[in-house]
Amino acid sequence: MKKILVIGGSKGIGNAIIKSLVDENLVINISRSAPLLSHTNLTHFSCDILSDDLPEIEAIDSLIYCPGSINLKPISRLKLEDFRNDFEINVIGAVKAIQYYLPLLKNGSKPSILLFSTVAAKLGMPFHASVAAAKSAVEGLTKSLGAELAPLIRVNAIAPTVTDTELASKLLRNERMIENITERHPLKKYLDPKEVADLAAFLISEKASSISGQIFELDCGIVSFKI
């Protein structure tokens, strides 16, 4: 069994990832609250990634960093603190975890790191200045670390479009908004968290052993197509 560390697995995409992996892997989750899931293969540590000391773990083969933010405001209403907060949770938290657990990853079995960006890092979208800036840094980190840690540790990122999670609930809060979101995507859909989890499972698996330094646009066509 692979030993997989998921940071931010109590809700949303992180929780879907845990559910997709826990039957066949040993999964360690670090988040402020525990996931609503009980399994013999799941270990949880309550921890604030930004302010708390990270727990000691004996061994890991993959690290998946899921925390993120959707802070949508016009630039005139964004404070510098908004930019700092988004950068902290999306970038600094990931760097902190990677630096701390890198010695374990180096001793892991075919180790890998998976991070999360957003389609807004590629597609210019109004009101996304803060989160797009932070996630663009995640993409730069992915490529730089992929080069630095090759050939031992693979590093990739997924850039999802709108996903049906609590974090995105304000974007999907009524039927009209759901219809608008659906129509904006060429595939006439938005993402279910399980779809993201399936791609995550593939990217940390041996089936993806030749893939590193890549950003995967899970976008329902919104970045790739103009229809």
Asked if the structure places residue 226 within a domain, the reply is: no
Nearest to 116 by CA among 75, 77, 169, 165: 165
| Cα–Cα distance measured from residue 6 to residue 27, given in angstroms and rounded to the nearest whole number | 7
Asked if the structure places residue 52 within a domain, the reply is: yes
Mean pLDDT of 160-181: 88
Helix or strand holding residue 9 (H, E): none
| Cα–Cα distance measured from residue 182 to residue 124, given in angstroms and rounded to the nearest whole number | 18
| Cα–Cα distance measured from residue 225 to residue 227, given in angstroms and rounded to the nearest whole number | 6
* Domain CATH code at residue 209: 3.40.50.720
Reported as a single tens digit per residue, the pLDDT across 83-137 is 999 999 999 999 999 999 999 999 999 999 999 999 999 999 999 999 999 999 9
Asked if the structure places residue 174 within a domain, the reply is: yes
C-alpha dihedral over 216, 176, 10, 3, to 10 degrees? -20
The predicted structure's pLDDT at residue 162? 92
Counting the structural domains of the chain, the total is 1
In sign, the C-alpha dihedral spanning 8, 14, 17, 22 is positive
Q: Is the pLDDT of residue 169 over 90?
A: no
The predicted structure's pLDDT at residue 168? 78
| 53: containing domain | 3-218
**Which neighbouring-strand residues pair with 113?**
63, 155
